[in-house]
Structure 1
């Protein structure tokens, strides 16, 4: 039996708990200056990212094996692509509420 989706799901769950314990693992937060980090609700952000990663890992493994069990072979091929894509877009949009740094339209974005 193919255990790769189970392994990836468990990896995402473990990564979620690591992000909760070590928030410096959050991409974007670790590149901020000390002044910008002061304006981020890191406890809320790390808890949110933990929940997102845990739910994504469970949903990825669960939906994959559910589709295999139901013998929906055409859907099985799309589960590893669309489940993480949906969760990543959701996390990117919702995680912005924890960043309280002022954004100016004339200010250049970081990294550009």
Structure 2
């Protein structure tokens, strides 16, 4: 919920400053233009366009925060996808109000086409990178039992020597999560560090919709993970218990 609130407040604040307070110097590129170039920009319409984009997307994230507060399970992907798509549409629409991009006969300048291609190319790369990260975080957890350690692969993964692992349990339910501190939460897929009511800060590699969950402790760190389905997780837990017994001096 905190992520949604931060996004909502940030977007609404941007809209209020650029559109409501007319702080046009916040618009990238405009504040560095010469007076002659500024005169060819309809900054009021650009500010209004940015304001509408900010207000609408701020409202979307505010609604997502409300759903999270009401404990309604919903993926963040639609909200993030809407943000990116409307951002691209806004950038394309904004070019209409910048007279510096056009020749006297109304045709686009060659340099303007290159500039737009670079902007859209940069956004596309960011979208692909974020999309790849989201796709990766939604894949089943990969855990491997090696000769002397358990290795959990992927983002936030690590290796845990058997001799350092204590208190292995098979859980039917997760502890109550209060906040994500350093990790990703895409739909039911949680990766990284989260605060919980019962155990404090823990490390998760779970799909919350696929119990049970394997919990173990190494030093002051509690780790909970599960695999692609209940049968695989249970079998892995039994193998892990056996590996820990065999590693005892």
Report the TM-score, using the length of structure 2 for normalisation: 0.37
Higher share in helix: 1
Q: 1:29 to 1:106 in 2, by over 3 A?
A: closer
Q: Which runs of 5+ in 1 are unaligned?
A: none
For 1:12 and 1:53, the matched residues in 2 are separated by 5
Aligned CA-pair RMSD? 2.7
Give the drift of 1:104: 2.2
Residue 9 and residue 106 in structure 1: after superposition, are their counterparts in 2 closer, same or farther (change >3 A)? closer
1:61 aligned to 2:62?
A: yes
Residue 5 of structure 1 corresponds to 4
Q: Is the Cα contact below 8 Å between 1:64 and 1:79 reproduced in 2?
A: no
The 1:40/1:106 distance shift into structure 2, 3 A limit, reads closer
Using CA pairs under 8 Å that are at least 6 residues apart, name the structure with larger relative contact order, 1 or 2.
1
Q: Distance in 1 between matches of 2:111 and 2:53?
A: 32
**Unaligned 5+ residue runs, structure 2?**
103-107, 119-249
Is residue 94 of structure 1 aligned with residue 88 of structure 2?
Answer: no
1:81, distance to aligned residue in structure 2 (A): 3.1
Question: What's the TM-score once normalised by structure 1's chain length?
Answer: 0.75
Contact in 1 for aligned 2:4/2:64 (Cα 8 Å): no
Structure-to-structure mapping, 1:12-23, within 5 angstroms: 12-20=11-19, 21-23=22-24
Q: CA deviation at 1:16?
A: 0.6
Distance 2:27 2:83 in 1: 17
Higher strand fraction (1 or 2): 2
- Report the counterpart of residue 158 of structure 2 in structure 1: none
How many residues align? The count is 107
- Give the aligned partner of residue 32 of structure 2: 31
